[in-house]
Amino acid sequence: MLEEIRQQPAALERTLKGEIRRAESLRKLFARKKPRMIVLAARGTSDNAAQFGRYLLEITTGIPVSLAAASVYTLYQAPVDLRDALVVAISQSGESTDTNFVLERARASGAMTVGVTNERKSTMAGLAEHVFLVRAEKEKSVAATKTYTGQLLAMYLLAYSLGANISLDDVRRLPEWAAAALKLESEITERAERYRFMRLGVVLGRGLNYSNALEFALKLMETCYVVAEGFSAADLLHGPIAMVERSFPVFLFAPSGVTWPGMREMLEKVSELKAETLVFTDQSNSAAVKSQQRPIVIPTKLGRKGNGEDIYTPIPYIIPAQLLAATLAAVKGLNPDEPRTIHKVTLTL
């Protein structure tokens, strides 16, 4: 897992070089006819990437985005009118049975289809009309890391294809920003010991980093056997905050931008409750973080100022969290590459 985390800048670079031409081709296609809506279908880590895609695509294109409920198609076999829609299926292996079933039904009902997968010869790659390949090479660890960030990158390319005002020059810097985040590895390794006996925790994010809250919580569950829950910081206030008490672990993704004021207020609230807080943030916010321990400061400036200030933060922000999950598993004497009772490819209907 650690080795694959370290491979992410190179994997992102390969994906960019291999898939920008496809993005340009699709951009010409969508310029003639844009979809009236977008449906994203995925499971597990890929579903967290889809959550990011939902925010990114709606924010940058204005097209409504829905996350597919696979059971509607597989168990209830309900006919869904997807004419003039774009259906995007996301799967590391390309063999997720229910995700592929949604893709197949969508194409049969007249939708345009796109697959996002790491496997060129997978079932998904054969089913979809258009495919973004996540060129991460073989991912051996059960815990997905480089395929997750590759899927996030594919969402940027898809947004660009749909006419979003996204600079490809900025997108091309994502491998550089990922490499900068990897420089935190020694600091993360030192700090993992503090959480050796953690059994419960929550992870908070807003907007474009909500997906990272879900993904980090998943990594803590599958590699460290910590009962962790990812929340939007806004949703935490609607009941779940009742479980936060003294020394309760709370992790927060808090980049600069439109989500920062709300995340700062949430940090102040959980700090008043004497929670054990750890904040992933940037240099401009670090002085305002008054938690029990210093924040994890992402060592780079990302993208533009203003409402899009956090648009490129998800990839460099998840990398320190991945490192923390991997090193914490080692501290706990666990093998993050082979978590108990789960497998790399999960088949569900």
Instruction: Check the CA dihedral 46-49-55-59 and report its sign.
Output: negative
Q: How do 112-117 and 85-91 pair as beta strands?
A: parallel
Which residues are part of the catalytic machinery? 344
Residue 74, amino acid: T
Nearest C-alpha neighbor of 225 from the set 331, 314, 141, 147: 331
**Radius of gyration of the chain from Cα atoms?**
19
Length of the chain: 349
Nearest C-alpha neighbor of 171 from the set 310, 51, 312, 30: 312
Q: How far apart (Å, rounded) are the C-alpha atoms in residues 16 and 95? A: 23
3-state SS record for 157-183: HHHHHCCCCCCHHHHCCHHHHHHHHHC
